[in-house]
Amino acid sequence: MRPLTPHLLILLFALTTVGCGTTRWTDTTRTSTEQLLISDAIDRSVSQIDLRPLSGQKVFLDSQFLEGTIDENYTVSVLRQHVLASGCRLMDKKEDAEYVLEARAGAIGTSRHDLLYGIPSTDLGSLAPVPGVPSRIPEVPLAKKTEQQGAAKIAVFAYHRETGLPYWQSGNAQVASTAKDIWVLGIGPFERGTIRDELKFAGDDIGLDRWSLEKRRDRRVGEEKVWVAESLQFHTPESIRYVERMEEQVRQAKLSEKPADKEAKAATQQPDAATKPAPTPAAPPATAGPGPPGGPYTPPPAPIPRATIRNAYVPQ
Q: What phi and psi, each to the nearest 5 degrees, are found at residue 239?
A: -65, -35
| Structure confidence at residue 19 (pLDDT) | 63
Check: CB of residue 107 under 8 Å from CB of residue 152.
yes
Rounded (5°) CA angle 263-269-275:
115
Q: What is the pLDDT along the chain (316 residues), one digit of tens a residue?
A: 556 566 666 766 666 666 667 788 888 888 888 999 999 999 999 999 999 899 989 999 999 999 999 999 999 999 999 999 888 999 999 999 999 999 999 999 999 988 888 878 777 666 555 666 667 777 777 888 889 999 999 999 999 999 999 999 998 999 999 998 888 887 888 888 888 877 777 766 666 555 444 554 444 334 456 767 777 777 677 877 888 888 888 888 888 876 766 666 666 665 554 445 555 444 444 444 444 444 444 444 444 444 444 333 333 3
Q: What one-letter code names the amino acid at 77?
A: S
The Cα–Cα gap between 39 and 72 comes to 10
| Structure confidence at residue 64 (pLDDT) | 94
Q: What one-letter code names the amino acid at 259?
A: P
Check: CB of residue 159 under 8 Å from CB of residue 100.
yes
Q: Which residues contact 129 (CB under 8 A, 6 or more apart)?
A: none
Report pLDDT digits (tens) over 135-185. Answer: 777 777 788 888 999 999 999 999 999 999 999 999 899 999 999 888 888
| Structure confidence at residue 265 (pLDDT) | 64
Q: Which residues contact 216 (CB under 8 A, 6 or more apart)?
A: none
| Structure confidence at residue 208 (pLDDT) | 57
The Cα–Cα gap between 102 and 118 comes to 50
- The residues with which 176 forms a beta bridge, in sequence order, are 151
